[in-house]
Amino acid sequence: MDVFYRLHSVFVILNYRLKYDQNTSVIVHNANKRAVLIPISFHSRDPQILKRACCVYVRPLVEFSSKIWSPHYKYLIDKFESIQRYFTKRLFGLSKLSYCERLTSLDLDTLERRRVICDLVFLL
């Protein structure tokens, strides 16, 4: 049986083994839907504009209450990184670069690094 905790009109899903796998799946699914819609919804193909749209519309889904459910298994971390990896690969002129090169050219951090920084700031 799953337990739903409502935090600011968003649910955090926790199963009876105190795991957030279902929560992770829901977040990744919703974030992927938004990441796919961003290039379709904007007329501009400028990577900087689309990057900013991703930071506004996708990142809040991925980072909301991450202090509670932050993944520590590699397969869950990769699920979250796949969102940003897929989005940056679709940007004009960046498809042939590696993931690290795409992040560097867009001046972005990995989502895992952002979660770690957020956790450290929270602890200070």
pLDDT surpasses 50 at 7 = no
DSSP class of residue 97? S
Q: At what angle do helices 21-41 and 74-89 cross, to 10 degrees?
A: 0
Place of tokens 């689309």: 50
Burial class (CB in 10 A: 0-12, 13-18, 19+), 35: buried
Does 108 or 71 have the greater pLDDT score?
Answer: 108
Cβ atoms of 83 and 28 within 8 Å: the answer is: yes
Query: How far is the C-alpha of 9 from the C-alpha of 54, rounded, in Å?
Result: 21
pLDDT band at 72 (very low <50, low <70, confident <90, very high): confident
pLDDT band at 89 (very low <50, low <70, confident <90, very high): very high
Q: Which two tokens stand for residue 104?
A: 């560097």
Residue boundaries of the structural domains of the chain = 3-123
Query: How far is the C-alpha of 23 from the C-alpha of 12, rounded, in Å?
Result: 6
pLDDT surpasses 80 at 2 = no
Strand partners, 6: 11
- What are the tens digits of pLDDT across the range 29-66? 999 999 999 999 999 999 999 999 999 999 999 988 78
